[in-house]
């Protein structure tokens, strides 16, 4: 009697393993890229929220009116951050400083990036038309190699509390 043999040969199994290896070699780096892109979306979104809060702050002329912030004039907010102090590849809690609170910037969840509001210490409100200049920054270290990815938005406020910003974000080492 003839025996019915069922199963796969060694060559067939090796071909399947080779195909799976090729697919993994393509899929894993792409998957890591998508994860890092989703992490970088946090930075641009939070910078936009910080600018929106600052715009509302200046439009409402809240400075000096019982708002808990270190203001030096009627249209200035002091520097704040970085918070968290040192970014790394894991999420950390965001601890808002009074200046962040003054411009209604709150983050409820933990973050990958460290956020800063950097004031250049201008003379807002003088007759020469000088502007108070700010930099809104987010720095992250998604792969924990001490090389920071940086997102910055340049912002200015004039004597009439009009807020201006650069045309786009300055981005350096986006995926690092």
Mean pLDDT of 166-176: 84
Top mean-pLDDT range of 52-66, 101-115, 146-160: 101-115
Q: Decide if pLDDT at 74 tops 80.
A: no
Determine the pLDDT at residue 155. Answer: 85
Q: Which residues contact 51 (CB under 8 A, 6 or more apart)?
A: 136, 153, 155, 163, 165
Digit-coded pLDDT (tens) for 90-123 = 899 998 888 888 888 888 889 999 999 888 764 4
Determine the pLDDT at residue 142. Answer: 86
**Percent of residues, the chain, with pLDDT higher than 90:** 30
- Read off the pTM: 0.74
Cα-Cα-Cα-Cα dihedral sign, residues 36, 37, 40, 42: negative
Domain boundaries, the chain: 10-172
């Amino acid at each position: 009697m003839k025996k019915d043999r069922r199963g796969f040969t060694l060559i067939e199994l090796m071909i399947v393993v080779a195909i799976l290896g090729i697919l993994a070699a393509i899929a894993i780096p792409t998957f890591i890229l998508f994860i890092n892109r989703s992490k970088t979306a946090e930075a641009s979104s939070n910078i936009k929220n910080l600018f929106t809060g600052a715009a509302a702050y200046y439009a409402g002329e809240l400075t000096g009116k019982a708002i808990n912030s270190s203001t030096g004039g009627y249209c200035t907010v002091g520097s704040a951050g970085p918070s968290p102090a040192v970014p790394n590849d894991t999420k950390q809690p965001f601890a808002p400083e009074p200046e962040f609170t003054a411009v209604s910037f709150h983050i409820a969840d933990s973050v990958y990036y460290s956020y800063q509001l950097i004031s250049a210490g201008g003379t807002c409100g003088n007759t020469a038309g000088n502007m108070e200049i700010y930099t809104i920054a987010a720095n992250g270290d998604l792969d924990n190699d001490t090389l920071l990815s940086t997102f910055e938005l340049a912002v200015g406020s004039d004597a009439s509390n009009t807020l201006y910003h650069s045309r786009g974000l300055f981005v350096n080492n986006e995926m690092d």
